[in-house]
Each structure stands twice: as structure tokens, then as C-alpha cells.
Amino acid sequence: MARKMNEKMNGNKKRGFISGMSDTNLLLLITVVVFVVMYASAVIFLGSGFLKPQAFFNILNDNASLIILACGMSLVMITGGIDISVGTLTALVCMSCAVHLDFNGGSVLTAVLLALGIGLAFGAVQGFLVAYLEIQPFIVTLAGMFFAKGMTTIVNATQFNVAHEGFQALKATRLYVPGMGSVNKLGNYVPAYVEIGVVVAIVTVILLFMLLRWTKLGRNFYAVGGNAQSANMLGINVKNTKFMAHLLCGLLAGIGGFVYFMHVGSGSPSHAAGAEMNAIAASIIGGTMLTGGVGNIMGTFFGVLSLSTIKNIVSSLGLDEAWWTNITVAAMICLFLVIQSLVLRRKGKSK
């Protein structure tokens, strides 16, 4: 794949296009191309099901929370850290909000505030430990992951569906996308829709894209991830920057958790199991490097889409045994890692 792309590039652009590109943009380009190719081949080989806009919107509906979580993950990864607590944190947020709404007589607004509060609290504590006490992020967030996991069952050990009316109304709200509907077998027009979560996710992506591209804080993330020592010498407050990354990641996990909650409408200790790994996978597929300093929110967005497209392809191929999904996802991560590794190595050589 990498070679094919390089040939294409060299063919119609001036020489040195690839080596002239920043790592971030190069990896983003690969991700977008792969997603388009994958979606196109799904449409061609698996029939028109994928062609309906609603098929695409369903991917968004199902993955709105993952998009938000992956965005937070990308922020932390760009600064050279990692946060593996986001998955269980999502479960904790769901469970807390569910209990709050149904047992403690809370309103939707207070539930949202609760979700944000939990996320911020996690982000602040983890950020403090990572940035100011200089403990490895993997260990800190590992503990955070365990803590959230345990806390979820302490809050409530069993799964239950939320009956709160206001919340049900919110959950059922659908935003219709004009002009994207399709005609079903009976000849009726079915409008295309997205859930509120998708809007939240897209707004998040846009805001974070702007944050990373145009704000000082965003650029500081890249600098700290690229070389923390240099960043310090350049007059950047490295500790504060790392703290902010974790804080934002926590906040986004809170938002993502609530979006997940709106999508499923229940609390359960097994919610969002493995979401942190999906978020990491999406970030990697989207061209974020765990070594830090390289990555792009748009890439992460396409990373999530690619990840779920491949899952959809696998399930519509009739390979419904559960293991196939995991194996293909793993194969895809593997493929992307090797591509990244090869592309960057080739770039290094050409220098």
C-alpha cells in the first residue's frame, strides 16, 4: 500500500513531495486514502447496503462516543503519553448517570454535569500524577482504569435500563438529515437521521482540530510530545501542558461517556469494555504515533470510521463468529503499524 501511494505521488507531483510533507500530514493522507478505498470496495463488493447514506450515518451513530474518546486519546498520545482509563471511565459515567437519574431523582442537566465532573476529576488527578509527580502515564492510567472498573460495580453491580422520562426523550431524539434519505422496499421515503451524540462528536472533532492547529496550547502539545526537554528549553511549561492534555482527555471521556449513555440508555459494569483499546487503535490507524509529537484529529476521526467499516465488512461477509471481528481489527492495526514504520523509515533514508 505504501509503495503504491508513493508511486502515485511521485508520478503526478513534484519530486520530494513525500519527504517535504510533515510526518503528521503524511500519515493523515494515508489514513484518508485507506478509508476511502475501503469504503469504496465495501460498496463495490458487498452491494449497495453501504451506499445508502444511512449506512454511513449508522456508523457515526454507533461510534459517536468512540470518536470522542479517541480524540481525547489522540491529545494525550500527541504529548507522548497514553490514557488507558477511558474505557472503564465510560462505564463508570454511564453507571453513575443511570443511578443518578433513576434512584437519586436527578435531572438530565445534573446528569450531564455529573458526567463532566467525573471526567474532569479523573483527568485532573491523573494529569497531576503524570505531569507534576512525573509518574509514567501508563501506570497512572492503569490504576485509573482499575479504579473506575471497581467503582462502577461499587456504584451499582448490575445492569439496568434507565426509565427517566426526560432522558428517554433525549435518547430518542433524532436529527434528520435532509436529502440523504432513501426509499425502502415498500416505496416509502425513510429520512436519514443521526443521534444527538453524533453532533456532539462532530463538534468535538472540529473544536479539537482547531485547538491543535491554531492555538498555542495545541501547538505546545506537539512540541512537548516531540521533545519534552527541548520544549522546556523553548520556554513551554511542559508540566502544565501535559496536565492540560490529561485534563482534556478526562473531560472528553466524561463527554464520551455521556454520549455512550445516550446511545445505550443503560448502566452496566461491562459497558464500553475494551473501548480504550479501540480508541488507541483508532488513533494509531489515524496516524497518531505513541512516541508523541505526530498526529491529527481528522486522522483519528477517519481512524474510527475505518475501524468500524472493517467491522461492518467482516460481519456482512457472513463471518459471524465473534472472533473474526477481533482478528481483522488486529490485522488492520498490524497493517497500519507496519505502514507507518515503513513510511517513516523510508522518509528517514531519503533525508
Site residues for other proteins, 269-288, by CB under 8 A, read: 269, 274, 277, 280-281, 284
Q: What is the nearest approach in angstroms of other proteins to the Cβ of residue 105?
A: 25
Contact 82, 137 (CB under 8 A): yes
**Binding mask of the shown chain, residues 102 to 141, with x at each position contacting other proteins by CB under 8 A:** ---------------------------x--xxxxx-xxx-
**Cα 81 from Cα 245, distance rounded (Å):** 9
Q: What is the nearest approach in angstroms of other proteins to the Cβ of residue 205?
A: 19
Q: Which span (104-112, 197-205, 252-260, 320-328) binds other proteins, by CB under 8 A?
A: 320-328
Q: For Cα atoms 134, 204, 64, give the angle at the middle one, nearest 5 degrees.
A: 105
Going by the DSSP 8-state scheme, the letter that residue 47 receives in this structure is: -
User: In whole angstroms, what separates CA 152 from the centre of its chain?
Assistant: 22
Among 49, 150, 166, 191, binds other proteins (CB under 8 A): 150
**Identity at 216, one-letter amino acid code:** K
Q: Does 341 bind other proteins (CB under 8 A)?
A: yes
Q: What is the nearest approach in angstroms of other proteins to the Cβ of residue 83?
A: 12
Q: Does 157 bind other proteins (CB under 8 A)?
A: yes
Coil vs helix vs strand at 160: strand
Q: Does 17 bind other proteins (CB under 8 A)?
A: no
Among 113, 290, 319, 346, binds other proteins (CB under 8 A): 290
Which residue's CB is nearer to other proteins, number 197 or number 267?
267
Q: Does 36 bind other proteins (CB under 8 A)?
A: no
Q: Which span (35-43, 115-123, 183-191, 336-344) binds other proteins, by CB under 8 A?
A: 336-344
**Cα 246 from Cα 72, distance rounded (Å):** 8
Residue 180: Cβ-neighbour burial (10 angstroms; 0-12, 13-18, 19+): middle
Among 56, 226, 265, 315, binds other proteins (CB under 8 A): 226
Which residue's CB is nearer to other proteins, number 28 or number 280?
280
Q: What is the nearest approach in angstroms of other proteins to the Cβ of residue 123?
A: 15
Q: What is the nearest approach in angstroms of other proteins to the Cβ of residue 19?
A: 7
Q: Does 294 bind other proteins (CB under 8 A)?
A: yes
- Of the candidates 127, 151, 159, which has an alpha carbon nearest to the alpha carbon of residue 265? 159
**Binding mask of the shown chain, residues 178 to 217, with x at each position contacting other proteins by CB under 8 A:** -----------------------------------xxxxx
- Of the candidates 332, 315, 335, which has an alpha carbon nearest to the alpha carbon of residue 278? 332
- Residues of 37-62 as b/e, b for ≥16 C-beta within 10 angstroms? ebbeebeeeeeeebebebbbbbbbbb
Where does residue 74 fall: left (phi above 0), alpha (psi -120 to 50 degrees), or beta otherwise? alpha
Among 8, 10, 17, 19, binds other proteins (CB under 8 A): 19
Give, for 178, the enclosing helix (H) or strand (E): strand 174-183
**Identity at 296, one-letter amino acid code:** N
Distances (CA, A) of 304 to 125, 276, 329, 330: 27, 12, 11, 14
Q: What is the nearest approach in angstroms of other proteins to the Cβ of residue 23?
A: 6
Q: Does 334 bind other proteins (CB under 8 A)?
A: yes
Q: Does 327 bind other proteins (CB under 8 A)?
A: yes
